[in-house]
Chain A
Amino acid sequence: NAGVTQTPKFQVLKTGQSMTLQCAQDMNHEYMSWYRQDPGMGLRLIHYSVGAGITDQGEVPNGYNVSRSTTEDFPLRLLSAAPSQTSVYFCASSYSVLDYGYTFGSGTRLTVV
C-alpha cells in the first residue's frame, strides 16, 4: 500500500493563478480531509469528505474547492491564488474517523508570490 499520496511536493504560484493539489489513497478509506499548516497556527481544516460525492466545509474553506468523485481521490483546487494561501497543505484519510485516526500524506509546500 502506498498510503496517502500527495502531489506535487513543492509548488510556486503567482498571485491569481489557479492549481489543483492532488491527493490519492489506496486504503479504501471513506473519510478524507484537507488541512493547511501555518507557523504557530497548528492544522486548520479546509474541507472534508465522508464518502464519494459528499463534501463539506471546514474552518477555512474560502478560496478553495473540492470534489470527491471516487473513494480514492480528493483534489483541492485553489481558484485564484493569493499570498495568504502560502502554506503547507496536508491531505489525510481514515477508514472511520470517529474510531481510528487519520493517516496523513507527506504534504505539499505551496508558495504564492
Chain B
Amino acid sequence: GQQVMQIPQYQHVQEGEDFTTYCNSSTTLSNIQWYKQRPGGHPVFLIQLVKSGEVKKQKRLTFQFGEAKKNSSLHITATQTTDVGTYFCAGPTSGTYKYIFGTGTRLKVLA
C-alpha cells in the first residue's frame, strides 16, 4: 500500500536557525497537504499543494511540491519558539479520498 515517510523524525534547533522537513511518497500524489500539531494539541491544516513544482510561502514557511509529485518539503526560516510542534504531510491514496499521513517530524526550538 501507499507509504508516506518523513525525515528527519526529530529535529532540535537553536532559535533563529532554519529547519527543513522532507516528505516522500511511494506513489504519485494528486496533491499534498501539510499540518502542524502543537504538543498536546490536534493537527491544524497549514496548506495544500497541487501542481508539480509548486512553491507556496506563508511568512517564514516555504512549502514545495516535487516535480514528480512524489515528494514535498517544508522549510522554516529563522525558527521561533512558537514553531515547536510536529509537522505532518498527508496525501490521498490514488483514486480515493483516503488521506494517508506521514510519520511526522517533531521540531524542538531551543531559546
Contact = CB atoms under 8 A, between A and B. Distances in A.
Interface string B75-111: 0000000000000101010001111111110000000
B42 A43 contact: no
Interface in A30-75: 31, 33, 35, 40-45, 48, 50, 56, 58-59
Contacts of B92: 97-98
A105 B48 CA distance: 19
Nearest to A57: B98
B43 A56 contact: no
Interface residues of B, number: 27
Contacts, number: 64
Describe B's contact surface by its main secondary structure.
strand
Nearest to A104: B42
A97 B50 CA distance: 13
A101 interface: yes
Given A59-B1, A100-B48, A103-B45, A48 B103 contact: no
B97 A31 contact: yes
A101 B45 contact: yes
Interface string A76-113: 00000000000000101000011111111111000000
B97 A97 contact: yes
Nearest to A88: B42
B99 A42 contact: no
B33 A101 contact: yes
B103 A33 contact: no
Ranked nearest first, the 10 interchain pairs of A and B with the lowest CB-CB distance are A101-B45, A43-B101, A104-B42, A42-B103, A42-B104, A104-B43, A42-B101, A101-B33, A106-B42, A97-B97
